[in-house]
Chains A and B, each alone.
Chain A
Amino acid sequence: MTDAIIIGAGTNGMACAYRLAKAGHKVTLLEASPTPGGGAARAEFAPGYTVPALAHLTPTLDPRVVTAMDLARHGLGYATTDLATTALSADGNHRRVQGGMADGPDAAAWAALTDRLTRYANALAPFRAMTPPVLAGKGNEWGKLARLAYGLRTMGKAQFRDFLRVILTNAADVAEDELTDDLLRGLFAFDATLGAWAGPRSPNTLILMLNRLSLGPLSLPRGGPAAVADAMAGALIAAGVAVRSNARVARIDTVGHCATGVTLDTGETLAAPLIVSAIGPRTTFRSLVGPRPLDTGFHAAAGHIRARGAAAKLHLALTGTPDFRGADLRTRLVIAPSVNTVENAFNPGKYGGVPTHPVMEIVIPSAHEQGYAPEGHHVLSAIVQFAPHAPADVDTARAAMLENTLATLETHAPGLRSLIAHAEMLMPSDIEARFGLDGGNWHGAELSVEQMLFLRPLMQAAQYATPIPGLWLAGAGSHPGGWITGTPGWNAAGAILKGAA
């Protein structure tokens, strides 16, 4: 008899399911797609060509999840950890970057900046593992926050001051203050805004860079990020979690204010006293719960959760090996030649337009290991920014986005277009439809200062609990946000178990 239903078998839903199952719950995990994984999935987008369907790299997975679920035993291995980056230049004068090491005129400045920001990021990292504190009313947790703040303060007076100075600035200012090399400035601006609905000159973008640095270096699991999902699924089976695919939840059922179960789109109903939603919070409240059991203010606020996707996903099937003017294809290739290129790529999307010169992160999984494409062929996976989140006509926008992206690629890899056997461009709305991420946003709800920590996704639902007793949140829309980490799901399970105790 199931006593906990989890909606959405992304990495967060799976991490949450595992922790609840290990604590004695009988867990059923419901996934709308044919396979679990969410953003960590693979897809054969053309006959014989397979790509990471959404995420194509992973940051360092939450070590609590890796250890508890024993993912290595369930088959998780890496093609490469600490993946290097090549900041591509159209003239072949690329920069290779690995952590704090970069070549070119800014090597020392890059090392100093990386070191400084990594220290700030590490000081913020403990926030990721905590349930956001409640600061009002009885049993408030200022103490918990104060302890973390004290941890920040121990970095020393001068550094703490600098930390406070930069934390809410924008990425472009920092890049321009600290670096002179346009390629590295562009890379910094790109990385800070990857997955965000923000340009490098938008306020509060540096903190996104810190969040990213706190996640550690990027890795490519053997078999792509889907391998993480495969290993988690293996751990779930061993833990006795019932995983049901092709089970799309149409409604969260309530009696009075309390969640009592779910109804699938087939009409089938499943009852359980504990319902955990690991999908987008806006969809959870506005579509699955609906207004009746929610207070007006909360329901309206849930509708105002910002979730604008700006990252498009490009998949190319290539009949040969592309040549990015000599760049190492076993690195992450970034086309973002200056801060202003990134900023200019962001601007049109605000008005529903497509950038003429999009910026992008390219991974060629088939350069790392076999199995993605026929012998001698390659697949190219790119996250292309910035796609309009609300174009007037998505088909026109998609075609323009594809054309502008291919033109940009051709500039950096002459002859690439002649190698293309098949191309697929996923716009934010496609990503929303396929992966259930609200707005096609990478985090299911924008990760921005006004939607962080105890404001994520909403002040009234920031501790994973919701106003509906029995209903909890566990997705990337909750603290600390997206990327393939498992952290929100793991944290949520902790809050649920503590709440039940």
Chain B
Amino acid sequence: MMDLTHFRTPLLPTPFHARTAPLNLLHRWGAWAGHTVALCFGDAAMEHTAIRNAATLYDLSPMTKYRITGPDAADCLNRLTIRNAAKLTPGGVHYTAWTDDAGQILDDGTLFRLGPQEFRLCCQERHLPWLLDSAAGFDVTVRDETAEVAALSLQGPTSATVLQVAGIDVLALKPFRHAVFKTPVGDIRISRTGFTGDLGYELWLEPAQALPLWDHLMEHGAPYGLRPVGGDALDLARIEAGFIITNMDFIPANQAVREDRTRSPLELGLGWMIDWDKGPFTGRRALLAERDGGLSRWALVGLDILGNVSAEGSILYHAKKTEIGTVTAAAWSPACKASIALANIQWKHREGRDLWVEIYAMRELQYVKLMLPVRVVERPFFAPARRRATPPERF
């Protein structure tokens, strides 16, 4: 009989909690996938500055992780996801997404190929029932390994150097590659990936390694400005990088209550990753019909907004009159020195002609209404060359 007391602890601590708790000076905690995580350790602006100018640690442990193993693993993932999983070589990782039968997105995430028959899929939401349904008829096993794998994101221009001085030689690791490295706290899988659009690494470890690794990195990273960052700073960094987040920039099709709220990969700007020629995959028929029939209804675009007032949650207008979309994420970008945003706008307006945003800015209990001109711009907004340089610059 299962011990039915889980509801008494709606949020679990992560394996790093013993270290992050005393550092969280303002007790700014948030919930992420059933775990307690820090939103800010004291000064979000300094934390963001560290992401762009030094090195940072972000507790990634609540990320949902699935292990897919078996002779048919690549086949099964090829049917599940829209990108070609078979092209991924062991030691590779790619950004991917998957949809329901109607070609409406369920989630996006990163797929790691750990071996010829072994993959790890990391994503925001829980998908075990869908993954098991997708595995039916394939010789694979699917396991939720979220609790078995602690994860730490080390991001920023000095991150490679921090690892180097901590005795972990990652200089040869290329973007979107991963490998197991010997470290003073044992073997740890490190991938050159991240959610900041900057130079950075993600470290995948056993929960028992979490605290020793944290201490080891904090000790050696101090001279290079290493500091923990919370979700607020990371969110700002990801907007600058133009990355989308499930349930913030789109609603997963299996969670959407209103049938017009779902989005296809084409509508989220993820059409580039669809491999139309790899054979059948879930949603392909519907996506082909959408592509060939011009049935896309929405477009996810990057916006450059006049002025410096963040446009979070604002409504977009054509010719200041007709509502044509909504801002899903926005910020004043310290890195770009611009007011930037991600938005869902109607497909026919995706080029952004005569586009305006109406911002209600609360200023001392009164709204200041702004109608500002908007330009559709390419994402990412901020893309430093160092994010891809191999070997990375040393400090």
The 8 A CB mask of A241-261 against B (1 = contact, 0 = none) is 000000000000000110000
Closest chain A residue to B254, Cβ basis: A297
Whether the pair A257, B285 counts as a contact (CB closer than 8 A) is yes
Set of chain A residues within 8 Å of B136, measured between Cβ atoms: 291, 299-300, 303
CA gap between A297 and B129 in the complex, in Å: 11
Set of chain B residues within 8 Å of A293, measured between Cβ atoms: 280
Set of chain A residues within 8 Å of B130, measured between Cβ atoms: 296
Q: Is B52 an interface residue (CB 8 A)?
A: no
CA gap between A467 and B285 in the complex, in Å: 9
Whether the pair A299, B100 counts as a contact (CB closer than 8 A) is no
Whether the pair B280, A296 counts as a contact (CB closer than 8 A) is no
Set of chain B residues within 8 Å of A292, measured between Cβ atoms: 75, 79, 137, 279-280
Q: Is B282 an interface residue (CB 8 A)?
A: yes
Q: Is B284 an interface residue (CB 8 A)?
A: yes
The contact of A295 among B75, B138, B279, B282, by CB within 8 Å, is: B282
Sort chain A's interface into a size bin.
10 to 19
Q: Is B333 an interface residue (CB 8 A)?
A: no
CA gap between A300 and B282 in the complex, in Å: 12
Whether the pair B137, A296 counts as a contact (CB closer than 8 A) is no
CA gap between A173 and B283 in the complex, in Å: 45
The 8 A CB mask of B122-148 against A (1 = contact, 0 = none) is 000000001001101110000000000
- Please give the distance in Å from B68's CB to the nearest CB on chain A: 14
Which of B75, B101, B279 has the most CB atoms of chain A within a 10 A radius of its CB? Answer: B101
* In the complex with contacts A257-B280, A292-B280, A297-B100 CB distance below 8 A: yes
Set of chain A residues within 8 Å of B79, measured between Cβ atoms: 291-292, 296
Sort chain B's interface into a size bin.
10 to 19
Whether the pair A295, B101 counts as a contact (CB closer than 8 A) is yes
CA gap between A256 and B283 in the complex, in Å: 13
Whether the pair B80, A296 counts as a contact (CB closer than 8 A) is yes
The 8 A CB mask of B262-293 against A (1 = contact, 0 = none) is 00000000000000000110111100000000
Q: Is A153 an interface residue (CB 8 A)?
A: no
Q: What is the total of A-B residue contacts with beta carbons within 8 Å?
A: 46
Interface of chain A residues 285 through 325 with chain B (CB within 8 A): 286, 290-300, 303
CA gap between A293 and B137 in the complex, in Å: 12
Whether the pair A296, B285 counts as a contact (CB closer than 8 A) is no
- Please give the distance in Å from A126's CB to the nearest CB on chain B: 31
* In the complex with contacts A256-B279, A256-B280, A257-B280, A295-B133 CB distance below 8 A: no
The contact of B101 among A256, A291, A298, A303, by CB within 8 Å, is: A298
Whether the pair B279, A296 counts as a contact (CB closer than 8 A) is no
* In the complex with contacts A292-B75, A295-B101, A257-B284 CB distance below 8 A: yes
Whether the pair B282, A296 counts as a contact (CB closer than 8 A) is yes
Set of chain A residues within 8 Å of B101, measured between Cβ atoms: 295-298, 460
CA gap between A296 and B132 in the complex, in Å: 10
Interface of chain B residues 222 through 261 with chain A (CB within 8 A): none
* In the complex with contacts A291-B79, A291-B137, A303-B136, A297-B280 CB distance below 8 A: no
Set of chain A residues within 8 Å of B133, measured between Cβ atoms: 296-297, 299-300
CA gap between A299 and B285 in the complex, in Å: 14
Which of B100, B137, B284 has the most CB atoms of chain A within a 10 A radius of its CB? Answer: B137
Whether the pair A286, B282 counts as a contact (CB closer than 8 A) is no
CA gap between A74 and B38 in the complex, in Å: 81
- Please give the distance in Å from A50's CB to the nearest CB on chain B: 41
The 8 A CB mask of B169-198 against A (1 = contact, 0 = none) is 000000000000000000000000000000
- Please give the distance in Å from A298's CB to the nearest CB on chain B: 6
Set of chain B residues within 8 Å of A256, measured between Cβ atoms: 279-280
The 8 A CB mask of A448-491 against B (1 = contact, 0 = none) is 00000000000010000001000000000000000000000000
- Please give the distance in Å from B248's CB to the nearest CB on chain A: 25
CA gap between A256 and B288 in the complex, in Å: 13
Set of chain B residues within 8 Å of A460, measured between Cβ atoms: 101
Set of chain B residues within 8 Å of A467, measured between Cβ atoms: 285
CA gap between A322 and B176 in the complex, in Å: 81
CA gap between A292 and B79 in the complex, in Å: 7
Closest chain A residue to B286, Cβ basis: A295
Q: Can you list 24 A-B pairs, Cβ within 8 angstroms, ordered by A?
A: A256-B280, A257-B280, A257-B285, A290-B137, A291-B79, A291-B134, A291-B136, A291-B138, A292-B137, A293-B280, A294-B280, A295-B100, A295-B282, A295-B284, A296-B80, A296-B100, A296-B101, A296-B134, A297-B100, A297-B101, A297-B282, A298-B101, A300-B133, A303-B136
9 shortest A-B CB distances, which residue pairs? A291-B137, A295-B101, A297-B101, A300-B133, A295-B282, A296-B134, A296-B282, A293-B280, A296-B133
Please list the residues of chain A having a beta carbon within 8 angstroms of any beta carbon in chain B: 256-257, 286, 290-300, 303, 460, 467
Please list the residues of chain B having a beta carbon within 8 angstroms of any beta carbon in chain A: 75, 79-80, 100-101, 130, 133-134, 136-138, 279-280, 282-285
